[in-house]
């Protein structure tokens, strides 16, 4: 069986979506009758604590404990090209790049003795209407793809958002996911140390994909119901 993993850290300056909307969408995810390990910001944990049950494990976290937080002082001149500055902040990038780390933590917890894990963004229900009761199993990293991975669309991969991967859904074999997480962590730390920079997780995943194509099994989708239906 597949274990769903998600996480939510609340940023007050994110005007893209209100806390009320995150509660609305996140509650739909938490109500699923499937095994789930969800990491929840201690600042808003009270809104979700009653969803805990035999197949829903909620883990209280805080932003300062995310593994990239300790590098913030190295990124004082940080910037990216964005039209949504209230959302695309350095704090937001730190959270997005933690998705693969939460996957590793869920695998280490092993609450449901799963071999398959599936990351779903906490607010995924803002773009879909339903999630299936059962998921296919994969021996690689099944990951939602938007752009053609073999074409170059971007001007600057370090500054521009690149939608090779949708970012919302990825999963598969736990051992491949551990590798993926390790590669992402290494790439993030390289970017911070060498370029004093960090960007969207989807850009970093693309850089990791270019160096490790054999562990991936991408599928085409968009930010709509296809992102889960095609998994």
Per-residue confidence (pLDDT) for residue 166, from 0 to 100: 98
Query: What are the residues facing 58 on neighbouring strands?
Result: 38
- Give the mean pLDDT of 104-110: 97
- Give the mean pLDDT of 37-51: 98
Per-residue confidence (pLDDT) for residue 196, from 0 to 100: 96
- Give the mean pLDDT of 185-199: 97
Per-residue confidence (pLDDT) for residue 154, from 0 to 100: 86
Average pLDDT value for the chain: 96
- Give the mean pLDDT of 168-178: 98
**Which residue carries 């170059």 as its tokens?**
152
**Which residue carries 């069986």 as its tokens?**
1
Identify the H or E element spanning 150.
none
Torsion of CA 19, 202, 161, 96, to 10 degrees: 30
- Give the mean pLDDT of 206-228: 98
- Give the mean pLDDT of 85-110: 97
Distance CA 185, CA 154 (A): 23
**Which residue carries 């989708």 as its tokens?**
221
Per-residue confidence (pLDDT) for residue 175, from 0 to 100: 98
- Give the mean pLDDT of 98-118: 98
SS3 category, 47: helix
Which residue segments constitute the domains of the chain, with CATH numbers given?
2-229 (3.90.550)
What is the greatest pairwise CA distance in the chain? 48
Query: Which ranges of the chain does DSSP label H, i.e. alpha helix?
Result: 19-30, 90-96, 99-109, 174-190, 201-211, 226-229
Among the listed residues 58, 123, 62, the one whose alpha carbon sits nearest the alpha carbon of residue 91: 62
Q: How confident is the model at residue 17 (pLDDT cuts 50, 70, 90)?
A: confident
Among the listed residues 189, 201, 19, 20, the one whose alpha carbon sits nearest the alpha carbon of residue 119: 201
Cβ contact 14:87 at 8 Å: yes
- Give the mean pLDDT of 219-231: 98
Q: How confident is the model at residue 70 (pLDDT cuts 50, 70, 90)?
A: very high
Per-residue confidence (pLDDT) for residue 62, from 0 to 100: 97
Asked whether residue 79 carries a pLDDT value surpassing 70, the answer given is yes
**Which residue carries 């239906």 as its tokens?**
229
Q: How confident is the model at residue 15 (pLDDT cuts 50, 70, 90)?
A: low
Distance CA 42, CA 218 (A): 34
């Amino acid at each position: 069986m597949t274990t769903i993993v998600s996480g939510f850290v609340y940023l007050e300056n994110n005007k893209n979506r209100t806390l009320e909307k995150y509660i609305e969408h996140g509650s739909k995810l938490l109500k699923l009758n499937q095994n789930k390990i969800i990491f929840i910001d201690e600042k808003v944990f009270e809104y979700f604590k009653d969803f805990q049950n035999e197949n829903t494990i909620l883990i209280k976290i805080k932003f300062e404990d995310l593994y990239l937080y300790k590098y913030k002082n190295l990124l004082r001149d940080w910037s990216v090209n964005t039209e949504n500055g209230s959302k695309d902040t350095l704090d937001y990038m730190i959270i997005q790049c933690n998705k693969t780390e939460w996957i590793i933590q869920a695998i280490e917890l092993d609450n449901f003795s799963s071999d398959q894990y599936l990351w779903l963004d906490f607010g995924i229900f803002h773009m879909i209407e339903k999630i299936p009761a059962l998921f296919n199993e994969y021996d690689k990293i099944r990951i939602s793809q938007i752009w053609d991975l073999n074409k170059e669309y971007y001007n600057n991969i370090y500054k521009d958002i690149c939608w090779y991967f949708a970012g919302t859904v990825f999963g598969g074999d736990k051992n491949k996911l551990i590798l993926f997480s390790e590669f992402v962590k290494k790439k993030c730390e390289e970017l911070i140390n060498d370029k004093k920079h960090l960007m969207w997780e989807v850009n970093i995943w693309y850089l990791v994909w270019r160096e490790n194509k054999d562990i991936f099994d991408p599928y085409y989708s968009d930010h709509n119901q296809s992102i889960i239906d095609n998994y």
